[in-house]
């Protein structure tokens, strides 16, 4: 671990500078590009804060849904790979019609809804509205 300022603190400082100083001092395409940079920095900050926990939650949900007996991945990189592979397996089962109805379909819907909420919390928290913004099952 590095001394302060941490990577998180540095990214936050850059985002604050860009928002407070650079955006007001620019206009047009340059201002838009700076806004995009700020948005990317904010996503990276949320990813650093929430990403690993969300990924573990997704892995746990997938492992339970698919009744996977795989052991807990030892590294973050292995976890990312395992989640990708489990999602591929889930997608295959959905495409085959296994999630069209029944208890397993309900469990799949809940898992996908929660994983989507976790991803939205990182990508753009404004997309989440606890009362009205959650996806509804038809």
Q: What is the pLDDT of residues 2-14, one digit of tens each?
A: 789 999 999 999 9
- Give the residue numbers spanning the domain of 37: 7-127
- Other beta carbons within 10 Å of 12: 16
Q: Give residue for tokens 């995009």.
A: 36
Question: Taking 90 as the threshold, does the pLDDT of residue 1 lie above it?
Answer: no
Per DSSP, the residues of 85-109 read HHHHHHHHHHHTTTTSSSHHHHHHH
Q: pLDDT at residue 56 above 70?
A: yes
State the Cα–Cα distance between residues 22 and 15, nearest whole angstrom.
10
The answer, as to whether pTM is greater than 0.85, is: no
Q: How many CB atoms lie under 10 A from the CB of residue 2?
A: 7
At residue 128 the predicted structure's pLDDT band, cuts being 50, 70 and 90, is confident
Residue 34 within any structural domain of the chain: yes
What is the C-alpha separation between 138 and 32, in angstroms, rounded? Answer: 38
Contact 41, 116 (CB under 8 A): no
Does some domain include residue 40? yes
pLDDT of residue 138: 44
Alpha helices (H) in the chain, listed in sequence order: 7-17, 28-65, 76-95, 103-123
pLDDT at 136 over 50: no
More confident residue, 45 or 127: 45
Other CB atoms within a 10 A radius of the CB of residue 43 amount to 14
CA–CA separation, 39 vs 43, rounded Å? 6
Q: Does position 28 have pLDDT exceeding 70, yes or no?
A: yes
Residue 108 lies in a domain: yes
Tell me how many domains the chain contains.
1
């Amino acid at each position: 671990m590095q001394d302060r300022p941490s990577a998180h603190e540095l990214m936050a400082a850059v985002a604050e500078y860009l928002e407070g100083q650079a955006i007001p001092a620019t206009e047009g395409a340059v201002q838009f590009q700076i806004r995009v940079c700020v948005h990317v920095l904010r996503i990276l900050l949320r990813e650093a804060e929430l990403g690993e926990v969300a990924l573990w939650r997704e892995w746990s949900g997938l492992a339970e849904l698919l009744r996977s007996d795989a052991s807990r991945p030892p590294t973050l990189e292995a976890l990312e790979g395992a989640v990708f592979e489990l999602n591929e397996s889930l997608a295959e089962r959905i495409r085959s019609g296994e999630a069209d109805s029944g208890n397993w379909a309900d469990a799949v819907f809940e898992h996908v809804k929660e994983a989507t909420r976790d991803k939205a919390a990182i990508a753009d928290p404004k997309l989440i509205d606890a009362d009205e913004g959650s996806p509804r099952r038809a």
